[in-house]
């Protein structure tokens, strides 16, 4: 194994240490496409397996798009994994069908499916997902975002680490990765879609970047330094904006114009961005933010989205909808008994109680099982409330339900109908996402509450 003296090994180890990507005993899910990048990543992680006491699982997805070529890629990925004594997991899916059913582009559906699959394998607190993004990918992303008129956020590029997703190769160039493969006699496959200019990113890859490299042959590294610098600046500004948001907020979705106008434009931009995103669930672009600026200056009313308006009146900026806000009419069902069967906003929610459990429970049901002894006070069935948070058992990341629903692309009108079971300490279980980690069954649990939900005939046991 010829790794110790390679640039890839040096840069990847440095990235792991700088961003604390791995802990001793980590389980690492490696996204393995069969291409040079992912082959390099799998081989590199396997080379440090003993040092970090890693459990490595390779995960490959056949998107059902490229026929025999895709089947060959899956076969190659399996054989490579087996040759390294690494556990191999395969998901076969019709990505085009999924895209149509979810009103997504094929690229969007593919990305969603990939991360859902990886997350399903990353069970446990010490599990991470490793993807093979490199400095070329980062460069392409920054160019793509800037071409669309992105703000500082878009210039941050691809982060080395985000929650439980790590990217050890993010500072390695594609040329360095291919040299690593050559030096270690590693074969790889080539996705034919990457050789065409049909997709925007491939046009950047094949037409734009070669021209930039004529100006600076080390352009990838320059873009990596730029992204790191931007991320640092953006993090600081976001911290300032968070404090500014609290100062400007008068009450729910209402903000003091005089306080907003006292901020530097960079902070004011972020506060307005956060206000729009919080109310509408949409990610506003620069045009929407400028429209609110104009609204503030002109004491006027504007429409931002279908059911999202902004109006300035008497020194107050208010975001509102022309229809009754569902959030203001939340229904609650008290659950004095732990065994219940309820109809709620188009959902059927029921539970079963198992006391003094001693036998092993099917792991597939874990997201649906509540440790009764962790329930504090009374249970209530309701919808999301401001500030609700959950730590998902598999992800081990705490998020507000608002942010979680937005990230999962749940339509705004549906977010306020999703059933939530809570006790006096907060969220216990959420339809479609499962039990809060603090209430999850453990090996010491004796009394279990099993919750199941159905919507329009579709069962969701998560």
- Give me 9's structure tokens: 């090994």
Q: Looking at residue 97, what is its pLDDT?
A: 86
Q: Count how many Cα atoms sit within 13 Å of the Cα of residue 242 in the half-sphere of its side chain.
A: 6
Contacts of 156 (CB under 8 A, 6+ apart): 227, 230, 231, 234
191 confidence band (pLDDT: 50, 70, 90): low
Does residue 162 surpass a pLDDT of 70? yes
Q: Looking at residue 5, what is its pLDDT?
A: 57
Of 193 and 410, more confident: 410
What letter does residue 362 receive in the DSSP assignment?
P
Q: Looking at residue 2, what is its pLDDT?
A: 54
Q: Count how many Cα atoms sit within 13 Å of the Cα of residue 362 in the half-sphere of its side chain.
A: 5
Of 15 and 338, more confident: 15
Does residue 235 surpass a pLDDT of 70? yes
460 confidence band (pLDDT: 50, 70, 90): very low
Q: What is the DSSP string of 253-307?
A: TEEEHHHHHTS-HHHHHHHHHHHHHHHHSS---HHHHHHHHHHHHHT-EEEEETT
Of 162, 163, 169, 161, nearest to 39 (Cα)? 169
Counting residues of the chain whose pLDDT is more than 90, the rounded percentage is: 47
38 confidence band (pLDDT: 50, 70, 90): very high
Q: What is the pLDDT of residues 323-353, one digit of tens each?
A: 433 333 446 777 766 777 777 887 888 888 8
| Burial class of residue 416 in the structure, from the number of CB atoms within 10 Å of its CB (0-12 exposed, 13-18 middle, 19+ buried) | middle
- CA dist., res. 3 & res. 9, Å (int): 6
Taking residues 184-195, what's their average pLDDT? 79
**Do 254 and 310 form a contact (C-beta atoms < 8 A)?**
no
Mean of the per-residue pLDDT values of the chain: 86
Taking residues 165-190, what's their average pLDDT? 94
Of 5 and 339, more confident: 339
Q: What is the pLDDT of residues 101-131, one digit of tens each?
A: 887 888 788 888 888 899 899 987 889 999 9
Of 17, 266, 70, 312, nearest to 153 (Cα)? 266
Does residue 453 surpass a pLDDT of 90? no
Q: Looking at residue 346, what is its pLDDT?
A: 77
Q: What is the pLDDT of residues 248-304, one digit of tens each?
A: 999 888 999 999 999 999 999 999 999 998 888 888 888 889 889 988 887 788 888
194 confidence band (pLDDT: 50, 70, 90): low
Least confident of 40-54, 152-166, 226-240, 439-453: 439-453
Q: What is the pLDDT of residues 347-396, one digit of tens each?
A: 888 888 887 765 555 554 567 788 888 888 888 999 998 889 999 877 77
**Do 250 and 256 form a contact (C-beta atoms < 8 A)?**
yes
């Amino acid at each position: 194994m010829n790794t110790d003296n390679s640039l890839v090994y040096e840069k990847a180890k440095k990235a792991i240490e700088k961003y604390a990507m791995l802990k001793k005993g980590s389980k690492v899910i490696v996204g393995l496409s069969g291409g040079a990048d992912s082959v390099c990543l799998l081989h590199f992680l396997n080379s440090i397996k003993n040092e970090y006491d890693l459990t490595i699982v390779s995960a490959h997805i056949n998107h059902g798009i490229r026929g025999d070529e895709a089947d060959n890629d899956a076969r190659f990925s399996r054989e490579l994994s087996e040759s390294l004594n690494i556990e191999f997991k395969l998901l076969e899916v019709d990505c085009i069908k999924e895209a149509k059913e979810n009103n997504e582009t094929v690229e969007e559906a593919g990305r969603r499916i990939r991360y859902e699959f990886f997350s399903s394998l990353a069970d446990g607190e010490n599990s991470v997902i490793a993807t093979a993004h490199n400095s070329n990918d980062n460069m392409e992303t920054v160019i793509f975002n800037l071409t669309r008129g992105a703000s500082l956020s878009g210039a941050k590029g691809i982060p080395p680490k985000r929650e439980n997703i790590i990217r050890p190769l993010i500072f390695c160039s594609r040329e360095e990765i291919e040299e690593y493969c050559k030096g270690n006699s590693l074969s790889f496959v080539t996705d034919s879609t990457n050789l065409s200019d049909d997709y925007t990113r491939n046009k950047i890859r094949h037409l734009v970047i070669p021209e930039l490299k004529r100006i600076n042959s080390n352009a990838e590294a320059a873009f990596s330094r730029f992204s790191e610098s931007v991320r640092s600046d953006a993090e600081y500004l976001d911290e300032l904006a968070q404090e500014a948001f609290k100062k400007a907020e008068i009450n729910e979705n209402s903000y003091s114009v005089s306080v907003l106008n006292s901020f530097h434009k960079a902070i004011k931009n972020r506060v307005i961005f956060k206000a729009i995103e919080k109310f509408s669930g949409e990610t506003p672009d620069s045009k929407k933010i400028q429209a609110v600026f104009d609204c503030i200056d002109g004491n006027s009313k504007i429409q931002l989205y279908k059911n999202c308006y902004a109006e300035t009146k008497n020194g107050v900026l208010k975001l509102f909808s022309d229809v009754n806000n569902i959030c203001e009419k939340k229904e609650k069902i008290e659950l004095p008994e732990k065994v219940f069967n309820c109809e709620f906003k188009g959902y059927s929610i029921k539970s079963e109680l198992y006391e003094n459990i001693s036998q092993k429970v099917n792991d597939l049901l874990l997201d649906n099982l509540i440790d009764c002894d962790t329930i504090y006070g009374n249970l209530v069935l309701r919808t999301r409330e401001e500030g609700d948070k959950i730590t998902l058992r598999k992800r081990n990341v705490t998020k507000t339900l608002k942010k979680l629903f937005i990230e999962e692309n749940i339509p705004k009108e549906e977010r306020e109908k999703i059933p939530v079971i809570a006790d006096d300490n907060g969220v216990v279980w959420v339809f479609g996402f499962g039990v809060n980690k603090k209430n999850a069954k453990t090996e010491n649990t004796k009394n279990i509450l099993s919750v199941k939900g159905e919507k329009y005939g579709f069962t969701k046991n998560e």
